[in-house]
Amino acid sequence: MITIKSKSEIEKMRIAGKITGDALKLIEKYIRPGVSTKELDKIAYDFIKKQGATPSFLNYNGFPGSICASPNSWVVHGIPSKDIVLKEGDIISIDMGACKDGYHGDAARTFAVGKISDEAQRLIDVTKQSFFEGIKYATHGAKLGDVSAAIQEYVEKNGYSVVRDLVGHGIGKKLHEDPSVPNFGRKGKGVKLAAGMTLAVEPMVNEGEYDVVVLDDDWTCETEDGSLSAHYENTILITKGECEILTL
């Protein structure tokens, strides 16, 4: 069931979204060669707690971290670890959420660790831009497929592929609500968007093929061909005009 949020719910979503966006800005300051993903997880946990919120991901279906930390060919759902130490030239995708007063925010960024290759930077830039290309169509009365198709078109035009096995989602009282928000699809198809819907739009973009595999820890999702992958996500509010981004 797709929920339409009331004014007071939207106010709470803005607060949860701001905490999530601010946490990512804080994490960005600590991204450097030598830092472990466990340290980044602790920074996120402490920040979220200090805001009187709770980390949405921690213990979600048993997930053991406050962030998902997925370097290089890992797509999403990487478990923070003291043994995963970032090194010069890596890219690192950080996905996280915060819950405040019963409502969630969810967002992801891919960061450069030190100096990275031009190719890796281009992947990060195209992934981020694909989100903004998609949300141009995210308005009251449009079809969800308009958003999905715009993301896919932009990504593929740039020579990359869109992950099929993982998609965005509605968000609110629950971290994952209806509808599913694929990053691929056809214009004019799918759910009709309405003001008051809140969605997590999150292109996951691979340098190579779109196929992914899940590793033996049952969480980590990696590109099957070992190519780099990037992720960019925000929680948005559908309005009668341009959508409002809640997690920037």
The residues binding Mg ion (CB under 5 A) are: 106, 200, 202
Closest Cα partner for 195 from 241, 131, 233, 234?
Answer: 241
Burial class (CB in 10 A: 0-12, 13-18, 19+), 140: middle
Comparing every residue's Cβ against Mg ion, the nearest one is: 200
CB of 168 to Mg ion, least distance (A): 6
| Straight-line distance from the first to the last Cα atom of the chain, in angstroms, rounded to the nearest whole number | 27
**With contact defined as beta carbons under 8 Å apart, do 206 and 221 qualify?**
no
Give me 202's structure tokens: 């999150």
The residue behind tokens 């020579």 is 159
CB of 118 to Mg ion, least distance (A): 28
Nearest CB to Mg ion, comparing residues 228 and 236: 236
Nearest CB to Mg ion, comparing residues 202 and 207: 202
**With contact defined as beta carbons under 8 Å apart, do 201 and 138 qualify?**
yes
Nearest CB to Mg ion, comparing residues 200 and 238: 200
Nearest CB to Mg ion, comparing residues 12 and 35: 12
**With contact defined as beta carbons under 8 Å apart, do 69 and 78 qualify?**
yes
CB of 232 to Mg ion, least distance (A): 11
